[in-house]
Amino acid sequence: MRSRTRTAGERARRLLAVILLFVASPAWAADEAGRLAPESVVLDNGLTLVVVANPNMPAVAHYVFYKVGSIDEPWGKSGIAHFLEHLMFKGTPTVPDAAFSRVIASNGGRDNAFTSYDYTGYYQFIPADKLPLVMEMEADRMANLTFTEAQVESERRVVLEERFSRTDNSPSAQLREQTRAALYLNHPYRLPVIGWEHEIRGLTHADARAFYERWYTPNNAIVVVGGRVTMAEAKPLAERTYGRIAARPLPERTVVQEPARVAETRIELASDKVRQPYVNRAYIAPSLFNGDTKHAYPLEVLAVVMGSGVSSRLNRALVLEGSLAVSAGTSYDSNQRGPATFNIFATPRQDVPVPAVEAAIGAEVDRVLADGVTEAEVARAIRRVQDSAVYARDSLAGPARIVGSALAIGLPLAEVDAWPERVGKVTVADVVAAARLVFRPQNLATSILLPKRQQGS
């Protein structure tokens, strides 16, 4: 199947890019600038419908977000959320096995799905007049999914091959997986979304059916439609399709908290598949929903000051001036139900020892802690975050996906709308306070990827 499981690093980088596209896009700016504000309504069965209208788009993006991800998996069943995502394409009595994507393609569209730690999403990009079709088909598999034991076994082989090709056969992916397992001591974020191999092998038809019946219900779903569509058009369609499905009681979610870390962690992975070393510092950090949440927006700004763009501190110190690395940067994603990570990474030049790059990264962290950041840096970072969003208004998928992913983790629509204002109010003092909270040795997991010959260097 064409589903995509994200590693921690990929997810953080992609979500940060999406967030940067969102903040202060003309589509989300003040009303006088032509703001296209999202509209939402909750159907009688609890399903949330959101419309992000843009009449300039030639088509429609249709997303279904289920507020369930790998964070919600039963203990010992890692990978079941992603496994079920695959099985959602196995059909219903109305749309048989593997026909879903063929029908979408035959009607001029394309579709896919993704599983993350916090939610699972299914989407179609289709001509506007085909919206009734995709709503009918998604509502059908929300209520009437069928899959056999043989299909479960067949899809297990697909998932295992996906794990082998994307993780087990990739030293960088293995390192990310091991780093995450070391950084999070107790939280489910320590488990890979795709699952551990031995637990994937143990997943059963009953496990998948139970997970589907527990979480795939309209009162746990958000449908977001963007592009050439209005609420007046979408709401009757949603009521006629999704609205027919009865709500079911949802289980109480287990909220797992992280214990305080007391020691720095270091991980080295050497492989003969590696041609160039890689250095990453991963700090556990607050998010918008976990920990000291007031630091989330300042950390977004700090990530730009330190590691986004040619003029960032890391790029200047390690790439342009120090000639130590071929690339350097940061990533941080505040949009998570659990604790976030703030990553600082670099790829050393071929002739530069890894310890020299580690020391240079450490020096930049120390400089922020000792001297803070400047007003000019913060102003530039905020401007960069906002300016990078300019093309979002011309994106079919971007606005719908941004809104849906934010609502799926519990962010109110008003908070999504207020994001540019929140970032714009970040001060130098805010950024310094956030850095001093996060950049502590006990919050850190350092991971090093090495060619085999350099192990221990």
Length of the chain: 457
How far is Cα 56 from Cα 294, in angstroms, rounded to an integer? 37
Of 10, 39, 73, 85, which one is the catalytic site residue?
Answer: 85
Strand pairing of 4-5 and 110-115? parallel
pLDDT recorded at residue 178:
97
pLDDT recorded at residue 211:
98
Q: What type of residue is 286?
A: P
Residue ranges of domains in the chain, CATH in brackets = 4-244 (3.30.830.10), 265-398+410-454 (3.30.830.10)
pLDDT recorded at residue 103:
97
126-132 long-range contacts, Cβ below 8 Å, gap at least 24? 126/59, 126/60, 126/62, 127/59, 127/60, 128/59, 128/60, 128/227, 128/228, 128/229, 130/60, 131/60, 131/62, 131/225, 131/229, 131/233, 131/234, 131/237, 132/237, 132/241
What is the helix, strand, coil percentage profile of the chain, to 5? Answer: 50, 15, 35
Catalytic, 264? Answer no
Q: What are the DSSP E strand ranges found in 186-237?
A: 221-227
* Beta pairing partners, 51: 39, 225
- 37: three-class secondary structure by DSSP: coil
How far is Cα 370 from Cα 218, in angstroms, rounded to an integer? 51
Q: Report residue 360 CA to chain centroid gap.
A: 29
How far is Cα 432 from Cα 298, in angstroms, rounded to an integer? 8
Exposed, middle or buried: residue 52 (CB in 10 Å: 0-12, 13-18, 19+)? buried
pLDDT recorded at residue 16:
39
pLDDT recorded at residue 390:
52
How far is Cα 221 from Cα 136, in angstroms, rounded to an integer? 15
CB within 8 Å of 376: residues ≥ 6 apart:
none
Q: Report mean pLDDT in 10-residue bins for the chain, 457 residues.
A: 42 40 34 58 98 92 98 97 98 94 97 98 98 98 98 98 97 97 97 98 98 98 96 98 98 92 96 96 96 96 95 97 97 95 97 97 98 97 74 77 93 82 92 98 98 64
Task: Taking each helix axis as running N to C, give the angle between helix 428-438 and helix 354-371, from 0 to 180 degrees, rounded to the nearest 10.
Answer: 130
b (16+ CB within 10 A) / e for 430-439: bbbbbbebbb
Q: Cα-atom radius of gyration of the chain, to the nearest Å?
A: 22
pLDDT recorded at residue 23:
37
Strand order in the sheet with 340-348: 265-271, 444-451, 278-285, 340-348, 325-332
pLDDT recorded at residue 393:
62
Contact 281, 446 (CB under 8 A): yes
